[in-house]
Amino acid sequence: MYNRKAWKHVFKLDPAKSLTDEELDQVCQSGTDAIIVGGTDNITLEGVIDLLNHIRRYPIPCVLEVSTADAITPGFDFYGIPVVLNSQEKKWLLDAQHQAIKDYGQLINWSEILTEGYVILNPEAKAYQVTHCKLPDRADVIAYAQMAEQMFRLPILYLEYSGTYGDPELVREVKQILNNTQLVYGGGITTLAQAEQMAQFADTIVVGNSLYENFDEAIATVNVKKD
């Protein structure tokens, strides 16, 4: 079993977006600690399996972040189940997950499941809009972090700025109140300097979109591990 808490840098690949085979090889050989497969729109089983087959050639931990029950496949090391804490609909907090457990509960290997408490902080993000989020203020986020750690004992709290670079001071504050829950930061990391700034506070930083925008600079963020 991999020690996910020791992951400092993770790449996130979107099954609905394209990289060349050579680029995928580079991602897998970059020295990143793990690869997450996940996205919001147009996630198909075929897209997920294509990525999995490519990644599995390399000895790197691989997480499927589940956004739709239709695109789940065996073969990943972990399955991330998002629970959107600042969604305004119970559906994204519990109901969709409940239905999936009802349908597939017998098949689930719970040791592979990671419940991820998401706080989505960019109102322009597709995930924010799909899940009808409400923008939390600083005190809201702190309280969500306390809930994640203390009430629901979630393995992961994920501050998701999806496409925009977040507030390092807020990430720092959240980290101060977490002990057991792993703090993951994602959003807008395009340069090594940004990666280094967020990695001061978050346990794990995720670099995703920038792979599809400025590939070489995105790959260079792995150097945050050398700090």
Residues of this chain that interact with a second copy (CB under 8 A) are 81, 83, 85, 87-90, 93-94, 97-99, 101-102, 105, 108, 110, 113, 115, 139-140, 142-144, 146-147, 150-154
Q: Which is nearer to a second copy, 32 or 87 (by Cβ)?
A: 87
56 DSSP 8-state letter: T
Q: Which residues are annotated as a binding site for Mg(2+)?
A: 14, 40
Q: Which is nearer to a second copy, 77 or 140 (by Cβ)?
A: 140
> What's the one-letter identity of residue 99?
Q
Closest distance of CB 153 from a second copy, Å? 4
Calculate the alpha carbon distances from 175 to 134, 186, 201 in Å: 22, 14, 6
Q: Is 39 helix (H, G, I), strand (E, B) or coil?
A: coil
Q: Which tokens go with 148?
A: 């994640």
Closest distance of CB 90 from a second copy, Å? 4
Q: Which is nearer to a second copy, 157 or 205 (by Cβ)?
A: 157
* Alpha-carbon span 208 to 201, nearest angstrom: 19
Closest distance of CB 157 from a second copy, Å? 13
* Alpha-carbon span 138 to 84, nearest angstrom: 17
> What's the one-letter identity of residue 168?
P
Q: Which residues are annotated as a binding site for sn-glycerol 1-phosphate?
A: 12, 158-163, 188, 208-209
